[in-house]
């Protein structure tokens, strides 16, 4: 059975992620299949919209093929670069796609899954949604357009999510604008059937089936997030959390101390620069250069060892503290690639 199932259902193209044992984590071949389907349907008048969902299992998409990236990064990095190049082309194609796109984020939606969902015009959350960009916990950074999408969230929420890797639920996704609609999980099949029958009415169909989400827990902490995560300097975020004295700040500081100081600094710079980008292609070109550098660095290989391979959850970051990560190192990570190696749109 294919890892990506594509078909035309009524007047809609359907793309279903189908790698349940890996919570539909993306491979290079899966990204290529999605790109091919989007290209096939781009000029097909019979296809009026595109629907993304997942086959069986407890998540929409848990991310990318991290183990492959680490194995490649430990060698010449060529396979990792090929994955990023293809995945980012898929992200960009979705961002610029002329036909309406709908992502059903039912269940775990992380990393690469966020990269599929966020460029879609309609993003449906449910009570099962668990969205996160947890990359700093394995020495990576929130890529797939994270520098663009997270930097455009209210206040400093994007910086908070990027640094901590916090998981948020469907109600929180809706409150922050990461989801456009909140539906009961048992109405998703009806939504897909009705959209396939009449894609011109997507807005109305999702509106009719929407329900009022429960209170968004993150709203209780927005003032604290804006105040304590206000700085783009990681050491100043640490100092603000440490000086606060409250339980919430202490918990978040403890969380940050488990993450890679190097890629937390990368994340803050990525969002700062992403906020000023005027073209999503420029964002993807920058993230590709950063990704190519990061996958071959110690913290990513060590993070994957600790979290995915040995599962001891005790990564030994190098440098181990924010103070040890120099501006020079971050500049090296953000250095543009030679033009003949740089990312380009499909």
What are 24-64's pLDDT values in tens digits? 999 999 999 999 999 999 999 999 999 999 998 889 999 99
Asked if the structure places residue 343 within a domain, the reply is: no
From CA 343, how far away is CA 102, in angstroms rounded?
26
Cβ contact 209:188 at 8 Å = no
Residue at 81 is within a domain? yes
Q: What is the 3-state secondary structure (H, E, C) of 236-302?
A: HHHHHHHHHCCHHHHHHHHHHCCCCHHHHHHHHHHHHHHCCCCCHHHHHHHHHHHHHHHCCCHHHHH
User: Is residue 284, in this structure, part of any structural domain at all?
Assistant: yes
Domain that includes residue 329, residue range: 4-333
Within a domain: residue 341?
no
Q: Is the pTM of this model over 0.85?
A: yes
What is d(CA 334, CA 314) in angstroms, rounded to the nearest whole number?
A: 27
Listed in sequence order, the residues at least 6 apart from 267 whose beta carbon sits closer than 8 Å to its beta carbon are 135, 136, 141, 142, 146, 159, 162, 163
Active site residues: 64, 112, 135, 143
Spatial distance between the Cα atoms of 26 and 109, rounded to a whole number of angstroms: 12
Say how many residues make up the chain: 346
16 within domain boundaries: yes
CA distance 118 to 280: 12
Hey, what long-range contacts does 318-327 have (CB within 8 A, 24 or more apart)? Answer: 319/261, 319/262, 320/261, 321/261, 322/234, 322/235, 322/238, 322/261, 322/264, 322/265, 323/235, 324/261, 325/234, 325/261, 325/262, 325/265
- The CATH number of whichever domain residue 243 belongs to comes to 3.90.226.10
How do beta strands 108-110 and 168-169 pair?
Answer: unpaired
Per-residue pLDDT of the chain (346 residues), as tens digits, is 799 999 999 999 999 999 999 999 999 999 999 999 999 999 999 999 999 999 988 899 999 999 999 999 999 999 999 999 999 999 999 999 999 999 999 999 999 999 999 999 999 999 999 999 999 999 999 999 999 999 999 999 999 999 999 999 999 999 999 999 999 999 999 999 999 999 999 999 999 999 999 999 999 999 999 999 999 999 999 999 999 999 999 999 999 999 999 999 999 999 999 999 999 999 999 999 999 999 999 999 999 999 999 999 999 999 999 999 999 999 999 999 999 999 999 9
Q: How many CA atoms lie within 13 A of 59 on its CB side?
A: 22
Q: Residue 206 domain-assigned?
A: yes
Residue 194 lies in a domain: yes
Count of structural domains within the chain: 1
In a domain, 340, yes or no: no
C-alpha span between 186 and 204 (Å, rounded): 18
């Amino acid at each position: 059975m294919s890892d990506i199932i594509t078909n035309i259902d009524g007047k809609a193209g359907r793309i279903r992620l189908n790698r349940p044992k890996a919570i539909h984590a993306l491979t290079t071949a899966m990204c290529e299949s999605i790109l091919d389907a989007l290209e096939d349907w781009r000029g097909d008048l019979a296809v009026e919209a595109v629907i993304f969902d997942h086959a069986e299992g407890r998540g929409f998409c848990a991310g990318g093929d991290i183990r492959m990236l680490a194995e490649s990064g430990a060698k010449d990095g060529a396979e990792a670069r090929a994955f990023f190049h293809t995945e980012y082309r898929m992200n960009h194609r979705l961002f610029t796609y002329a036909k309406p796109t709908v992502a059903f984020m039912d269940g775990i939606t992380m990393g690469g899954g966020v990269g599929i969902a966020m460029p879609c015009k309609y993003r449906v959350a449910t009570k099962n949604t668990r969205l996160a960009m947890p990359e700093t916990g394995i020495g990576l950074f929130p890529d797939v357009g994270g520098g663009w999408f997270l930097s455009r969230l209210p206040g400093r929420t994007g910086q908070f999510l990027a640094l901590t890797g916090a998981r948020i639920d469907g109600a929180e996704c809706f409150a922050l604008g990461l989801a456009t609609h909140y539906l009961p999980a048992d109405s998703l099949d009806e939504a897909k059937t009705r959209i396939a029958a009449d894609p011109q009415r997507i807005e109305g169909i999702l509106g009719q089936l929407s329900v009022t989400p429960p209170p968004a827990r993150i709203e209780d902490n927005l003032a604290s997030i804006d105040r304590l995560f206000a700085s783009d300097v990681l050491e100043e975020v640490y100092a603000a959390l440490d000086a606060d004295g409250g339980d919430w700040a202490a918990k978040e500081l403890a969380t940050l101390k488990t993450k890679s100081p190097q890629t937390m600094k990368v994340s803050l710079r990525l969002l700062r620069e992403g906020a000023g980008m005027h073209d999503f292609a420029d964002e993807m070109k920058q993230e590709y250069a950063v990704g190519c550098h990061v996958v071959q660095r110690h913290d990513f290989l060590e993070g994957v060892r600790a979290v995915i391979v040995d599962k001891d959850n005790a990564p030994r970051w190098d440098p181990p503290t924010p103070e040890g990560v120099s501006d020079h190192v971050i500049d090296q990570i953000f250095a543009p690639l030679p033009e003949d190696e740089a990312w380009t749109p499909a």
